[in-house]
Amino acid sequence: MSDLSSHAPVCHYTTLLVVDAGRGTVEVTIMDPQGHKDKVKPVIHPMNKDGVYLVEYTAIEMGLHSIVITFSGTPIKNSPYGVNVGAASNAKAVYATGRGIQPRGVRVKQNAEFKIHTKDAGNAEVKVQIIGPGMFLLL
């Protein structure tokens, strides 16, 4: 089992739409990578009277989870769904250093560099956008 105690929990939101299905009960069961059905508890919120439900759950470990959605005991189309849960990320642990981001600025035609430190931030994609004069995005 992966230890995510140093990271925020991974929370997923799913919207279910039940239209013209008649009266019935929506149930969601989430199976963790070890096959346990009782560790991840989904919360089902009816959003409106048009048959839309919001489902929230927080996975406590990484790996492939199986989500079974039933309506009145019958699995809905494409159920079960496989959801791969990755490590949580912590953007507050990321910081940048270097001459290229100093408040005094840099000189034209001189190499300006900086480093982005991501240790202990978890797994996530790092993106950098440089906005030039007049708010133009420089690629």
Mean local confidence (pLDDT), 90-96? 90
Say whether pLDDT at 81 is over 90.
yes
| Domain 10-85 = CATH 2.60.40.10 | yes
Percent residues over pLDDT 90 in the chain: 28
- pLDDT at residue 104, as a whole number: 84
Whole-angstrom distance, CA of residue 118 vs CA of residue 96: 9
- pLDDT at residue 6, as a whole number: 38
Asked if 65 and 59 touch (Cβ cutoff 8 Å), the reply is yes
**pTM exceeds cut of 0.85:** no
Burial, 65: exposed, middle or buried (Cβ in 10 Å; 0-12, 13-18, 19+)?
buried
- Domain-wise residue ranges, the chain: 10-85, 91-138
